[in-house]
Structure 1
């Protein structure tokens, strides 16, 4: 245990780490509460996507990633941690609690902590250099360390089938999903916002649709993006957990960020190709086609990265939430 309470500066350091986690369309669907030196992570239902993420699976994954990032923040201060996951009968939106333990922090966490500000969702073309096989193995190890499985798919019938499903899901995307996304992606008021994806972070439009590069502003005229040739056959990876429960979603988020930061350390970048996971029938097909460990949660496009701009983050004062959970309309959820 800590010998003295965390100072305000230390708390801010941990919170900044937590808020650097990735989330769908950078919605940042979390709020945090301090309980002594323990940090609680809660899903913020007002920041979820009722159409694009109706069961809040991806919001829980984001909160799991935030919990892992908070662990890195604690570790950078010399504290080992453990994570208590949901459920909490008194708080339906509770996702995880990060608490200090007597154990020393994982010695690998220090390097990962310094990768947090360098990690980006990479919506630009990758370099032509292939990912070294040893680095892919490090990323698989990172997933296993968090109780998840990263299935890397580089070629063969499974690759072709998965690529086809990504393209199919992109073609099947309905207009109401694009309208919901437009509220978060390159919105007219983006210059005044601390969330969402501004135009500068969208990346260029693909000259030829590849399937794995998701154009988040498809069908919209967003100035200044340009057009680029993307790699036709990037490495694809599927992140899985054994179960498909809210607790498993939080676990998936922790594994996801550990994988992404491990890749960042060696120059590997990622974007998300989750289109087939957003359609129930195709998600089941992804699972049956790539299944090794359990349920598919994330489809990643991987490659050697280049410099891309960061997405904004909310001020710490905005992420410290209320003393009671809320529903979408502000009432206690039932």
Structure 2
């Protein structure tokens, strides 16, 4: 069995690294312990974002999403992934241990396994969405997906939805006034010219999306300060459809839980034919993050804002090869 586990580990890691992460920094690394068969997930401090993510919450979200993808891939391959988060109190970078087991029944978690195609199909879209409204039953399904991972998904309406859009634009003003933030974004984006930036990480120019005519939709404009004249303009949806993900408390364990819930929501949305994008801008500023929460909600802390809708498929962004992120000991 140990040899079988060793054989499947690269495929599991390949699925894990398809997860989204802030600026596509891919802040994870994996260690496979061959003696025990345990696959450990670590946060990578060398890929931290000190300006946009000073407390590491965003890193935990990305790593939590990678952990969820790994669980999906294990189930799709016929394994049960027994997961322990934050297993070593003396090593805060060791975020999870995963042990593969033969499933107790005839089949592992079927709902997880069925999300396998969505792992490969999900890509962040900064393209315009149509004005077609998402049926309430799909939002109900997305809320249920978040609950399965111990988080809550809320669908804002009225003043709350308008406030969220305003908060994203407020965050952009904060961002434009911060030299540190601007330098960090520039370090993780590239215009795609020969020899400029890594081809295996960050956000390439083709993923920026078009510029908006009226700037109503809360989409991060990575390329605004980087030769934006080369980018076409487009009309986006009049009323963006948003959702907010949160947990009751705000500790590293909650961040990992929220990351897994975030990815489950994204994969279920992809399976339902939705285009998706993530908006962390207002959550990167403490003075704005608290305002993203509906005070009448039981949600204690907001971790992510989703933009959802119907639109054309987005292109995949680069990922580092498995050999760069997996160590076998």
TM over 0.5: yes
The aligned residue for residue 189 of structure 2 is 185
Structure 1's consecutive aligned runs of 4 or more residues displaced over 6 angstroms after TM superposition are: none
- Report the Cα distance in structure 2 between the residues aligned to 1:226 and 1:321, rounded to whole angstroms: 42
Which moved further from structure 2: 141-150 or 268-277?
A: 268-277
- Report the Cα distance in structure 2 between the residues aligned to 1:295 and 1:249, rounded to whole angstroms: 10
* CA displacement at 1:307 relative to structure 2: 1.6
The aligned residue for residue 242 of structure 2 is 236
* CA displacement at 1:66 relative to structure 2: 0.6
How many pairs were matched up?
A: 320
Structure 2 portions without partners, runs of 5+: none
Alignment of 1:14-25 (within 5 A): 14-25=12-23
* CA displacement at 1:255 relative to structure 2: 0.3
The aligned residue for residue 330 of structure 1 is none
The aligned residue for residue 250 of structure 1 is 256
* CA displacement at 1:118 relative to structure 2: 0.6
Q: Does 1:118 align with 2:121?
A: yes
**Aligned mate of 1:109, from 108, 112, 120:** 112
The aligned residue for residue 29 of structure 1 is 27
The aligned residue for residue 57 of structure 1 is 57
3-state SS of the aligned residue for 1:6?
helix
- Report the Cα distance in structure 2 between the residues aligned to 1:73 and 1:14, rounded to whole angstroms: 6
The aligned residue for residue 172 of structure 2 is 170
Could you tell me whether the CA contact under 8 Å between 2:76 and 2:114 is conserved in 1? no
Alignment of 1:259-278 (within 5 A): 259-278=265-284
* CA displacement at 1:309 relative to structure 2: 0.9
Could you tell me whether the CA contact under 8 Å between 2:142 and 2:153 is conserved in 1? yes
- Report the Cα distance in structure 2 between the residues aligned to 1:124 and 1:259, rounded to whole angstroms: 19
3-state SS of the aligned residue for 1:239?
strand
Change (3 A) 1:82 1:18: same
Change (3 A) 1:251 1:226: same
Could you tell me whether the CA contact under 8 Å between 1:96 and 1:250 is conserved in 2? no
Q: CA RMSD in A?
A: 1.9
* CA displacement at 1:295 relative to structure 2: 1.2
- Report the Cα distance in structure 2 between the residues aligned to 1:109 and 1:265, rounded to whole angstroms: 12
Could you tell me whether the CA contact under 8 Å between 2:5 and 2:100 is conserved in 1? no
3-state SS of the aligned residue for 1:98?
strand
- Report the Cα distance in structure 2 between the residues aligned to 1:289 and 1:218, rounded to whole angstroms: 33
Change (3 A) 1:8 1:244: same
Change (3 A) 1:190 1:73: farther
Could you tell me whether the CA contact under 8 Å between 2:217 and 2:236 is conserved in 1? no
Structure 1 portions without partners, runs of 5+: 324-334
Could you tell me whether the CA contact under 8 Å between 2:118 and 2:267 is conserved in 1? yes
The aligned residue for residue 142 of structure 1 is 145
The aligned residue for residue 72 of structure 2 is 72
Which moved further from structure 2: 179-188 or 117-126?
A: 179-188
- Report the Cα distance in structure 2 between the residues aligned to 1:263 and 1:292, rounded to whole angstroms: 24
- Report the Cα distance in structure 2 between the residues aligned to 1:122 and 1:275, rounded to whole angstroms: 16
- Report the Cα distance in structure 1 between the residues aligned to 2:261 and 2:153, rounded to whole angstroms: 9
Could you tell me whether the CA contact under 8 Å between 1:200 and 1:225 is conserved in 2? no
TM-score normalised by the chain length of structure 1: 0.90
Which moved further from structure 2: 96-105 or 166-175?
A: 96-105
3-state SS of the aligned residue for 1:14?
helix
- Report the Cα distance in structure 2 between the residues aligned to 1:314 and 1:250, rounded to whole angstroms: 21
Could you tell me whether the CA contact under 8 Å between 1:268 and 1:305 is conserved in 2? yes
